[in-house]
Every structure is written in structure tokens, then in C-alpha cells.
Amino acid sequence: MASHRLKENSNFHSSQYLYMAAISLRHNPQANNTNQQREIITEEIQGLIRVHRDGRVERPSIVPSVSSTVASERGVTAKDVMINKETNLWARVYVPISACHYSKLLPLLVYFHGGGFCVGSAAWSCYHEFLTNLASKANCVILSVDYHLAPENRLPMAYDDGCNALMWVKREALNGSCVQKWWLSHCNMSSLFLAGDSAGANIAYNVATRMHMGSTSNTPLLSLKGVILIQPFFGGEERTFSEKHSLQPPNSALTLSVSDTYWRLALPLGATRDHSYCNLLADGSVKLRDLRLPSTMVCVAEMDILRDRNLEFSNALAKAGKRVETVVYKGVGHAFHVLHNYQLSHSRTQDMISHIRNFLNQ
């Protein structure tokens, strides 16, 4: 999640637009009143998202989107694929070029980007760079899902999109799709992993639980082998120590106020942060011991406000008898692997990619 402290796009409203609007409103009192209603902002994370009272949502282009054809020096082919044209659900696929020279099939990693459920895209340059690097160094095929965003599409829409993406993969593989053969032919469907960072990690976890609760078939063709949760975005009404006391630098990707805003925009209307989508350990949530989860890797950033909540979640998984591997990355904060906003970001990102590669091949 990009920093809410970044300056707003200076071109957010052009001077020409403001000038023409002023002229028209001067001669139309009713339009002036309507415009005032439209300009009332109910929620805002500076530079990232602005929600108006009339329901309009604005997302400044703070992070550039790039084409899948952007040249890569890492030996990876990337292409966009349409999952559902009617709902505009699509994904970006990354395949190591070396896969063409191997007879061995590669793990399939289905990835969900971060952004508090409200911003972000599979086309964002920072994710294109990170996932190109991950596919190359971890030697895996990656399907990065561009799910629908809140508040226009509140949870559980993103979870639905994740499950629909998996069902599409299964259907295309079963049908022997010629269109998708260029990447499916390199995938070991019995070595499927779900992964994501921040809100994307939350989505990966919820899709994984649905797979084992019957919402998505877990068959020999599509067998979930593991889940990788990078700084998973969870919350709760009661604050943790790191949420209350972790001092965040000016370039922090996630502060407590930003986190609260994301949850207000993403959760079902009227829900609190103790809703099961947000607080997995709250009373009334599905008990971890009753869930059939595969091996889980939890990547924690030492300077992240989510640190203590992530560690609490990992410990709860272990106590529930689940296989969990927890790695804490020192000296970095939230989204360090995509924003490179800490001095140690690069080296810690390479460490994390190495750990993910080992997890995929264990």
C-alpha cells in the first residue's frame, strides 16, 4: 500500500476545468448546490483514494500501470489473460523463459496484490517488477489476479474473485485450452500455492479456507499445497502494542489511521473491525483448529504496525496444530518488497524471495 503522505497529484483538477465550472455555476444556483454535494468528501487517504458523498470514487494515478509487454531482463514472459469478460476479471501471467527448456513442470503461484482492498492493480509497476523477479528467481509460474476493489465492491467480492479465478484455471486446464496452453502447459497443478501481500494476503488466506470448505473444489487436478502470507492485513477493535506504539517514518505505507480507513471502506456496511474478514481471532470467528489449511508461510516486517497481529496469528495457527513457518524481516516496514522505501528493502526482498523459493520446493 503506497504511502498516504505522498503529495496529491498536481493535475488532479485541471485549471481549465475549474475555470469552466466557475463560469457555469455562476449562472446556475441549482447546479452550484449540486456541485457542493458532489464535492463533499466522506473518506480520503491522501494521494490514493477519495470517496465522495454521492458515491463517486477517485483514485489518483500515484503508481504507474505498465503493460505486460514491458521489457524484462530477467528472462520472464508476461501476458494478460481475461478470466471473465462480463465482470472484467483478469490476471497477469508470468512464465520463466527457462520453463520452455525443462521437462519438469513448475509450481503455480496465484498472487493477490495489496492496497487495503481499495487501491492497487495487477498492472502496477511495482508489482510487475516484484513478480517478474519472483517468477525468475523462484522458478514458478505466477497468475496475478486483478480483483474488484472496495468501496464499490466491498468484501467478500475480492474473495469471490479469487475463487472464481481458481475455478477458471481448473476449467481451462480440464478443457485443454489452446488459448491458455502457452502457460498452463508449464504448470504442475498438484503444486498450487496461494500468495499475496497485505490485503492480498488476507484474500489468499480466505480463498484457501474456502477451498477446503467446499466453495472451490480441491481435486487432484487443482491441489493446494501451501499459502504464503506477506504482511497479512488483519485487524481488530482492540489495538495491539505495535499498532499503538510503532513509530512510523514519513514514507510509511501503512499507519493506523490509514488502516482504519481501509477497513471502513472494505468491510460490509455496519461491520466493525471484529468482523471475521478482519479479525480472525475474534469471538465468533471460524476456529482455526477446525480449518483444513495446508502449510502456511507468514512473512512479517519488523517495523510494520501489523507486526504483533501477524505474529499473534502465526502463533494461533501453530497452537491449532497447523504447519506454519514464520519469518521476520528486520529493519523494514509494510510493503518494503514493492515500495523499496527502506534502506534494507532490496536485501530483505532478496531474502524473502529466497525463502519463498525454498517454501515452494519443500
Active-site amino acid positions: 198
DSSP string, 18-38: HHHHHHHHHT-HHHHHHHHHH
Amino acid identity at 130: F
Amino acid identity at 296: T
Give dist(CA 176, CA 213) in Å, integer: 27
Q: CA torsion 32→33→38→39, rounded to 10°?
A: 70
Burial class (CB in 10 A: 0-12, 13-18, 19+), 127: buried
CA distances from 186 to 88, 354, 356 (A): 25, 21, 19
Give dist(CA 112, CA 143) in Å, integer: 9
8 A C-beta contact, residue 151 and residue 51? yes
Give dist(CA 14, CA 81) in Å, integer: 34
C-alpha torsion sign, points 288, 207, 135, 191: positive
